[in-house]
């Protein structure tokens, strides 16, 4: 059973999500909060696997709250005109972001994916955000990249380009379990928690240059 917490200042929206999620045999809404500060307080007493987090809320917004959450996976709720919030949330530790009007099937898939350890970030969307904020990215690679082996660096770049573990395994002609091992070491050496942050890290480190051309 996937234990979900809803964090949004709109009670009506929480009720809608609660109804949808409650109908699933493998998902249970175990907690709710109307702002980030309250969410952090509730998480001290309730076991949660995935937090569905709104961005703009009173007292403490979703990005700041995400920085304080270390156990559960966080999925950020955003809109097209709030790309900067989604970008900041991923850097803060979120495992991905969804649009507030996301179709039910995509919402359920996203919750199950992050619970399984994957990140929910469309590569094209993240590239668009990074291209928009490229001027703010540092020009020098962090020192941690020097600790990566050639194969780990290769896996990092493939992940940053949106490849799945299965696709990477096929291209490198290794077992998928081997790719998972390499990726685990990349996460540990870089001090990041999931694939979403690996992508951000690769762009910030200058390992991949954001494109400024609009996506077709």
Between CA 178 and CA 142 the distance in angstroms is: 25
- Give CA separation, 104 vs 63, 80, 101, 118, in Å: 24, 18, 9, 19
pTM attached to this predicted model:
0.69
Which of 190, 199, 212 has the alpha carbon at shortest distance from 122?
199
Q: Based on DSSP, count helices (H) and strands (E) in the chain, helices before strands.
A: 10, 5
Three-state secondary-structure class, residue 31: strand
Question: How far is Cα 139 from Cα 13, in angstroms, rounded to an integer?
Answer: 41
Query: Over its length of 216 residues, how does the chain's per-residue pLDDT go in tens digits?
Result: 999 999 999 888 899 999 999 999 999 999 999 999 999 999 999 999 999 998 888 888 888 899 889 889 998 887 655 556 667 777 788 888 877 788 888 889 889 988 887 777 655 556 566 566 555 555 555 566 778 899 998 998 888 777 778 889 999 999 989 998 999 899 888 888 777 778 778 877 777 665 544 333
Give the position of tokens 């966080």. Answer: 74
Cβ 33 vs Cβ 117: under 8 Å: no
For residue 112, the surrounding DSSP H or E stretch is helix 104-115
């Amino acid at each position: 059973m996937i234990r979900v917490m809803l964090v949004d200042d709109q009670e009506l929206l929480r009720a809608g999500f609660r109804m949808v999620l409650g109908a699933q045999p493998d998902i249970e809404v175990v907690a709710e909060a109307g702002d980030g500060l309250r969410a952090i307080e509730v998480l001290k007493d309730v076991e949660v696997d995935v937090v569905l987090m709104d961005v703009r809320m009173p007292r403490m917004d979703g990005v700041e709250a995400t920085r304080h959450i270390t156990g559960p996976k966080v999925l950020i709720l955003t809109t097209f005109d709030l790309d900067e919030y989604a970008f900041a949330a991923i850097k803060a530790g979120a495992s991905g972001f969804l649009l507030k009007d996301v179709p039910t099937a995509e919402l359920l898939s996203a919750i199950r994916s992050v619970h399984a350890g994957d990140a929910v970030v469309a590569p094209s969307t993240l590239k668009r955000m990074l291209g928009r904020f490229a001027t703010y990215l540092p020009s020098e690679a962090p020192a941690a990249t020097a600790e990566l082996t050639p194969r780990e660096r290769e896996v990092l770049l493939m992940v940053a380009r949106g490849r799945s573990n299965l696709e990477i395994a096929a291209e490198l002609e290794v077992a998928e379990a081997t790719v998972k091992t390499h990726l685990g070491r990349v996460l540990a050496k870089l001090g990041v928690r999931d694939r979403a942050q690996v992508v951000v890290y690769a762009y910030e480190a200058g390992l991949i240059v954001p494109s400024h051309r609009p996506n077709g």
